[in-house]
Amino acid sequence: MEWTRTIAADGTWLCEHIDSQGNPAPASVLNIAALENVYHSPSNSRGELVCPGCGTLWRGWPKQRQVKFYIESPLGNVSPYQRAHRTDIDTLIAQVWKRFAGLQVTQYQYVWPADDDGIWWFRLPGITRQKDVQLETADGMLPFYVDQRKLTTMEEAVGRVCNLLKKIQATSQPHAGQSG
Ligand SMILES: [Zn+2]
C-alpha cells in the first residue's frame, strides 16, 4: 500500500475513487493551496484537507511535495464514491462501524510523510473516561495487532475489536461524572 503521493508541479494531486459497485469513478483533483489547519515549521510545515469526492482525510507537506491519506471514520462528507485502493483496515472499520452507532475511528498522525502512522483508535461516543481499542498494522493489511495479540483473519479481527468495545461499553457509565 502506497500511502503517499507526490504533488505535481501545478500543486495538485488526484484522489482516485470507486463507486458503490467497486467500479472506477471520477477522481477529484486536490490542490496544496487549499490545505487547512496548517502547522508552520521551518522544515516540515504541514496541513490537511478532506476530499470532497469521498471524504478521505489527506495531509500535505508543501516543502516535501508530498501528500498522504489517512483512513478514519466517520467520513468528512456523504458521497456515492469511496477512495480507491481499499485496505483491510477499510473493511474492518466498515464492519465494526455497523455494530456500534457513533463509533469514531482515528489514525495516528506523525510529523513526516515517510513516518509509520499505522496505529488506529476505535472510540465509542458517550464514554466519559478515555477508553479505546488500539490496533496496529504498518501497511493497513492483515495481520492486525490488538492488545498484543496477532489477528490473522478478518473474522477474528472484527470479533476481537467488537468484543473489546462491548467490554468498554459494559464497564463504562456514560455521563457518570468525574468519579473513579
Ligand atoms: Zn477522494
Q: How far is the CA of 54 from the centre of ligand 1 (A)?
A: 4
Residue 180 has pLDDT above 60, yes or no: no
Whether 27 and 81 map to the same domain: the answer is yes
Domain count, the chain: 2
pLDDT band at residue 131, thresholds of 50, 70 and 90?
confident
pLDDT in tens, 36-61: 999 999 999 999 999 999 999 999 99
Residues 67 and 91 in one domain: no
Residue numbers of the domain that contains 160: 87-174
d(CA 171, CA 173): 7
pLDDT at 123 over 50: yes
CA of 65 to the centre of ligand 1 (A): 19
140 closest CA partner among 100, 105, 104: 105
Residue located via cell numbers 490545505: 35
For residues 91 and 153, state if they share a domain: yes
The C-alpha atoms of residue 111 and residue 163 are separated, in whole angstroms, by: 32
Q: Looking at the structure, tell me whether residues 81 and 93 fall in a common domain.
A: no
**Distance from the CA of 87 to the center of ligand 1, in angstroms?**
15
Q: Residue 55 Cα, ligand 1 centroid: separation in angstroms?
A: 6
Residues 65 and 143 in one domain: no
Q: How far apart are CA 52 and CA 54, in angstroms?
A: 6
**Separation of alpha carbons 62 and 53, rounded Å:** 22
CA atoms within 13 A on the CB side of 157: 26
Per-residue cell: 83: 477512495
Check if the beta carbon of residue 71 is closer than 8 Å to that of residue 140.
yes
Q: What is the pLDDT of residues 93-111, one digit of tens each?
A: 999 988 998 899 999 999 9
Examine the fold and report which residue of 85, 105, 124 is the final residue of a domain before the chain moves on. Answer: 85
pLDDT tens readout for residues 60-100 = 999 999 999 999 987 655 677 999 988 999 999 999 988 99
Verify that 61 and 113 share a domain, yes or no: no
> What is the 3-state secondary structure of 39-62?
ECCCCCCEEEEECCCCCCEEEEEC
Between the CA of 105 and the centroid of ligand 1 the distance, in Å, is 18
Rounded to the nearest angstrom, the distance between the alpha carbon of 180 and the centre of ligand 1 is 43
